Structure 1
Amino acid sequence: MARVHPLDPSASPLDYYGYELRRAREACGLKQGQLGDIIFCTGSLIGQIETTKKIPTRDFSERLDAALGTDGLFSRLIGLVLRSQLPAWFQAYAEMEARATYISTYQAQLVYGLLQTEAYARAVLGVEAPEKLDARLEARMDRQRVLACEEPPVVWVILDEATLYREIGGREVMRSQLARLLEFRDWAWVNLQVLPFSVGQHSGMMGSFTIMRFENDPDIHYCESYDQGHMTANPQVIKERSVGYSRLQAEALSPRDSAALIARVMEERYGDHP
């Protein structure tokens, strides 16, 4: 007789997901292989997710709901599961980012996470903790769903020109990433500017930072150090950083000129004949 792996649904969102999957599957009288046949995966994968050895995806969760008639249960749980795979210090920020109505961010080194392609994000996240790469990549891509929701936040991104030249993942990855940035020209709620090298010293020289505004909550300022994030609603910090961000907006290229620069770098540095 096969030994059933015990599950503690209170241990983590992933354990709870596995517990509910097993419970719903057994309630339908299905073995792991039978459910796998229905949702086009292996029974082994079902077993690995039930026992928390694999991280489910959003697509997998949606197929589960359809197959088991669970009224969107797993589609709701997957957000919690994926968020729990983020570094502990980043989880609070991800939760606030998902609720913000206005996001203003200056990025000195990398393309902002909500605008990253999967290949670019994989290269960035693969630098450290490669054993967690797939889970964290899925979590980062899931964060981007906020841009496609019914009422997306207004997102204003200022990228330092260095982000266009820092070759992440190779030339093909960078070319695709810059092409992705150009697509946002047609998005009503996303504004993108590039801060050119010619500006010299500026109010973002202390590093990347983000200001988030909410419908009914105080504004939040967020920045990162090497191994942790820092969030504050201190009014003085919000005032100073908001003024600093306004200065960056004034010194950065216009959205139109920023797009022209991105297109030029894409062709001249990452094109077929750089």
Structure 2
Amino acid sequence: MAPPQPKAAAKAPAAPKSRVKKAKLGKARNYDLGNGIVRFSKTKMFHKTAKYKFVGKKNPKAPKTKKATIAVKPIGGEKNGGTRTVLLRRRKSFYPTQDKIKTHRHHKCFRKHERNIRPNLTVGTVCILLAGRHAGKRVVLVGVLPSGLLLVTGPFAFNSCPLRRIPQRYVIGTSTKIDLSDFKLPAHLNDAYFKKNKKSAKRSVKRKEGEDIFATKKEKYVPSEQRKTDQKLVDEAVIKAVGKREDKKVLRGYLKAAFGLRSSQFPHRLRF
């Protein structure tokens, strides 16, 4: 008979697996809705995170202990100076060839920027135009528009310069000023008032025999009745203010004359 086989040892019961609790990941307070748009604005998050409680509070910073960057080591030898300063941390052996691109906040649009006007450019200042079809003419500053452009007029009766907008960099402000404190600029004379029509300035004309196929004709600009009325209103106020001055004859001639430089005259040496 075959020898009896030994019974297999009973398997020990497996130890129960320890249940590891996974940390619950909550939803971010300000989450992305897609395409870079977040749920709450910067102002809303200022209140939700209660940052207003810390406005104006100053906590004194604890002084940081500076770590040593160099060490002084003794060196033997008569001609070696005795000691030598050694850097504890070696300098980088690799430097990037291009700087990292910095992201800047861009919440404010250009139209919302604060406009700074030169202090000598106040209402009533006589200015000299440096660019455009009226370059060299002396004009009177009537107002400053929200876009930062200056609203000037000739007046039209003096030098044929109508109401125009012009950037302050194309203007020289002189020391001559006219008192326009009694005049108030109409509210409708704003940037939208001076915008051009989006319609094309060119208009196709029916082709006649023997003419070019692509013959076009420019549409001539004609000022509206509203423009004429506003021009007359502003010019009357300026001419009235000029007439109140003692040197009105000289000032009228000054506004009518064009500005120019003669030989050996330099603008940086002149006092306007």
Interval of TM-score (by shorter of Structure 1 and Structure 2): under 0.3
Which structure dedicates a bigger proportion of its chain to strand?
Answer: 2
Question: Computing the radius of gyration over CA atoms, which structure comes out larger, 1 or 2?
Answer: 2
Which structure dedicates a bigger proportion of its chain to helix?
Answer: 1
TM-score for the superposition, normalised by structure 2: 0.25
TM-score for the superposition, normalised by structure 1: 0.25
Structure with larger RCO (C-alpha < 8 A, sep 6+): 1
